[in-house]
Amino acid sequence: MIELIPAIDIIDGKCVRLTKGDYAQKTIYGNPVEMAREFERIGFHRLHVVDLDGAKSKHIVNVEVLKAITTETQLIVDFGGGIKTDEDLELAFSNGAKMVTVGSVAVTQPELFRRWLNKYGAERMILGADVRHARISINGWKDDSEEELLPFLQKYIDMGVRNVLCTEISKDGTLSGPAVSLYKQVMSAHPTLHLIASGGVSNLADIKTLNQAGIPAVVFGKAIYEGKLNIKELWDWQSESSPA
């Protein structure tokens, strides 16, 4: 059964969603701590938190929000955005993140990422692979690198990476459906990978499609904020689909 992970993206201390990673196309959904508490209340156990200010500024900005979420809920939080140095990484962990998602550093400083992977272990490190035009995008999706997705993943899987968050940027925040063929391609190449699909989820049917395709986990945000994803239907489906 696919793992269900709601997302909270933060700008100026507020819960927001961007469209295709464009900071100019921003919708504000309120207080991220209240949102996290609501996610916990309705039954989620895991949360993906992104410091968009941090991603843009190249250092963690919204650490107080992270601390409040991890203090006021029991959610398992993975945190990303602006993690560029040892100090950023320690700041995330010391303020309650159980895992971190790191993308840009894996592109620009591969030896640093390797050191973090060896020091903290594969279970705490999620490789962020944000894709635009088949190449990895970095720095809050402002810049495109020369790294192609599958060779990029292979390099780090060979180093021990087991968790990958893959976002198809052209889908993110659009409610246009996930990039299922892309995720199938990744899983075909790496069938034991814990791949977290991100971008484009609009409703329960999209999650069912990813589940049927064998994708291990999915992140979604706008679909739940906009009321497109019915939580009761989601839990009913999960209960029906889970092994007894």
Active site residues: 9, 130
User: 209: closest CA among 174, 231, 182, 170?
Assistant: 182
Calculate the alpha carbon distances from 38 to 44, 49, 78, 176, 240 in Å: 9, 14, 17, 25, 24
On the CB side of 49, CA atoms within 13 Å amount to 40
| CA–CA separation, 88 and 84 (whole Å) | 6
Distance CA 90, CA 128 (A): 18
